Structure 1
Amino acid sequence: MTTDQRSWLKLASVLLPILFSVPLVLGFFGSFHPALDAFAHFRLHLAVLMVVSAIPALFFGLWREGLMAIVLALTALATILVPSPAPSAEAGAAAAVPASHPEYKLLQLNLRYDNRSPGEVIRLIARQAPDVMTLQEVSNDWRPRLKAIEARYPYTLYCPNRSHIGGVAILSRRPFALGTTPQCVGSLIGLARIDFGGRSAIITALHLDWPWPYSQPRNVKMIVPYFERLQGPIIIAGDFNAASWSQTVRNIAAASKTQSVEGLRPSWFAIGMPDFVTQWIGLPLDHILTSDKIVNPRVETLPKAGSDHLPMLLRFSIGGVDNAGPDQQTVMLHD
């Protein structure tokens, strides 16, 4: 290796980590502009690339530069990998559910509009037997297939198609709460208050567009007023097309007074990508948010079912007494 070659490699070992650090740092300022939040979705990937690209600097004796880059990357990783503090004993006692409160199941899945293995989805539903389902990309091809299971899930809400990929839908074995009317907000969200054995909860199916420069910021601006008006137990499930640490998810959680129960679970992957690859480099785009009246929520990611999104199964109970008043006052929304 010539002296010039070595000099260029040393320069590259310093510049590459700097190159990755720029979008990594900008992603922490998503509250200032959606363009910056777009970088946040790739925080995990950028941080890993920054660590890898900083290692050659150590071999060239550039210890200060290499270690500074690695420390910055690991600090960024800590913001998404370090688990939240465990709830206190008092909080745990407050969230405890009496044995008389049954447990229910919600299945969340982006079906993929052109799913080539629809039978896998139907078999998944039969195996899990969820009480309610929140679905996205319910295209025209999916409507007759879902019609076949409506004998088991007779309470349905289908929202308008968003182009050829379809809209969102809610399918439930449990009836809609008496006196309430399910509602769609365009093709973005479907809302239905469902009666779970005398205790009701608002179930929301959501599908946002891609991040900036696409329409996701406008989507959030449109739906936040609806979430701000909801009261009582709430579950928001869907394909957010946004990472759990993004400003997009934080804005929706703040407006609806909910929090994520899923943690870091990569759920999106390119068609044909093996599951083990998805677990490491997939993006966590599918989320389930719950309010404090949804108690003991637990989410597991299920094996793929022909879609480029993994199914998510939420187990939950409904605790406390809904003091928001009659059901019709908390669900019936108008533009």
Structure 2
Amino acid sequence: MTTKNRSWLTLAAVLLPILFSVPLVLGFFGTIHPVFDSFAHFRMHLAVMMAVSAVPALFFGLWREGLMAIVLALTALATVLPSAPAPAADAETPAQSVGGQPEYKLLQLNLRYDNSYPDEVLRLIARESPDVLTLQEVSKDWRPKLKAIEARYPYNLYCPNRSRIGGVAILSRRPFALGTTAQCVGSLIGLARIDFGGRSAIITAIHLDWPWPFSQPRNVATIVPYFERLQGPMIIAGDFNAAPWSQTVRNIANASKAHAAEGLQPSWFAKGAPGFITRWIGLPLDHILVSERIINPQVETLDPVGSDHLPMLLRFSIGGIDDAGPDQQTVMLAR
């Protein structure tokens, strides 16, 4: 190797980690501008690429530069690594959560508007038999297919389509709480207070646009006032198109006073990818947030069913005692 070639390689070994570090660091400043929050969604991948790109610097004797880049990358990576998922409950045993309250199930899934395997989705629903479904991309092609299960899920809310990809929907085996009206906020969220054996909870299906420069910041500005006014036990489930450490998810969590359920894993990758690939290198775009009266929430990520998003099954119970009468903030949110 000539001296000139070695010089160029040495320069590249220093510059490449720096190039990855710029968007990585800017991603921590999402409160300043949405453009920085867009970088944050890829923090995990940028950190890994930065650490890998710093290895050649060590071979060229640039120990200080290489080690500094690796330490910075690992520090950033430590802020996004998910905790180990909790073991799934035995499906054959009627589960009882903390305090002896009955356990319920919610299935969250972005159907994908052009899913080529709808029968796999319907088989999943039949197998898991959730109490509530929160769905996204319920396109015109999906509506007749979902009609097949409406006898089992007679309480439902379909929100307006957002172009050809469809809208959000809530399907429930359990009735909407007496005196309340389910409603949509455009095509972004659907809200329904559902009666779980005398204790009710607000169930929200959500689907946000892509991050800046797309409409996600405007989406958040639209829906945050609704979450600030809601009261009582709440579950917010859906495709946020945002990573859990992003300002987008943080703003919604703060407004709703909810937190991420335990066990969430990366859920989005290329259509047709095996589930284990998605769980390792996919983006964590699907979330389930729960309020404090949702007891012992546990999420299990299930195998793919033809969508580019993995299904997520939430097991939960409801604690506390409902206030008397309907929640007027849910009945007429638009007032």
Structure 1, unpaired ranges of 5+: 85-95
Q: Partner letter of residue 31 of structure 1?
A: T
Give, in whole Å, the separation in 2 of the partners of 1:157 and 1:164. Answer: 18
Aligned counterpart, 1:88: none
Identity of aligned residues (%): 79
Instruction: Measure the CA separation in 1 of the matches of 2:264 and 2:230.
Output: 26
- Give me the CA root mean square deviation: 1.3
Name the structure 1 match of 2:330. 331
Partner in structure 2 of residue 131 of structure 1: 131
Q: How far, CA to CA, are the matches of 1:131 and 1:314 in structure 2?
A: 10
For residue 129 of structure 1, report the CA deviation from its aligned partner: 0.0
The answer on 1:59 being equivalent to 2:97 is: no
SS of residue paired to 2:249: helix
Residue 304 of structure 1 is matched in structure 2 by: 304
**Cα displacement string for residues 1-60 of structure 1 (whole angstroms, at most 9, x for unaligned residues):** 111111111100000000000000000000111000000000000000000000000000
The question of whether the paired residues in 2 share the 8 Å contact of 1:81 and 1:264 is answered with no
Residue 120 of structure 1 and its aligned partner are, at CA, apart by 0.2
**Structure 2 unmatched runs, 5+:** 85-96
The aligned counterpart of 1:204 is 204
Q: Structure 1 CA distance, aligned partners of 2:112 and 2:8?
A: 46
Amino acid in structure 2 at the alignment position of 1:299: V
CA deviation map 1:101-138 (0-9, x unaligned)? 10000000000000000000000000000000000000
Give the 5 Å matches for 1:199-278. 199-262=199-262, 265-278=265-278
Given that residues 137 and 165 in structure 1 are in contact (C-alpha distance below 8 angstroms), is that contact kept between their aligned partners in structure 2? yes
Distance 1:82 1:234, change over 3 A: closer
Do the aligned partners of 1:262 and 1:287 also contact (CA within 8 Å) in 2? no
**Contact between 1:217 and 1:248, CA under 8 Å: does it hold in 2?**
yes
Shift in alpha-carbon separation, 1:170–1:264, aligned structure 2, 3 A: closer
Instruction: Tell me the secondary structure at the aligned position of residue 98 of structure 1.
Output: helix
What is the TM-score with the length of structure 1 in the denominator? Answer: 0.94
Change (3 A) 1:174 1:264: closer
Tell me if structure 1 keeps the 8 A contact 2:266–2:278: yes
**CA–CA distance in structure 1, aligned partners of residues 235 and 294 of structure 2:** 8
Structure 2 partner of 1:183: 183
Map of 1:36 onto structure 2: 36
Give the distance between the partners of 1:82 and 1:277, measured in 2 at CA: 16
5 Å matches for 1:110-121? 110-121=110-121
Q: 1:277 to 1:287 in 2, by over 3 A?
A: same
Partner of residue 24, structure 2: 24
Measured in 2, the distance between the counterparts of 1:252 and 1:328 equals 21
CA positional deviation for 1:275: 2.6
Note if contact 1:176-1:195 (Cα within 8 Å) is conserved in structure 2: yes
- What amino acid does structure 1 have at the position aligned with 2:309? H
What residue is the counterpart of 2:99 in the other structure? 98
Amino acid at match of 2:327: Q
The verdict on how the C-alpha distance between 1:312 and 1:188 changes in structure 2, with shifts beyond 3 A counting, is: same
Q: What displacement does 1:264 show?
A: 5.3
Describe the SS at the equivalent of 1:137. Answer: strand
Amino acid at match of 2:99: P
1:269, distance to aligned residue in structure 2 (A): 0.9
| Residue identity opposite 1:67 in structure 2 | L
Aligned counterparts of 2:275 and 2:83: Cα–Cα separation in 1? 23
**Residue 233 of structure 1 contacts residue 322 of structure 1 at CA under 8 Å; is this kept in 2?**
no
Runs of 4+ in 1 over 2 A off after TM superposition: 272-277, 325-328
- 1:329: how far off? 1.8
How far did 1:280 drift? 2.1
Q: Aligned residue for 1:79? A: 79
CA displacement at 1:321 relative to structure 2: 1.6
Amino acid aligned to 1:284: P
Equivalence for 2:155: 155
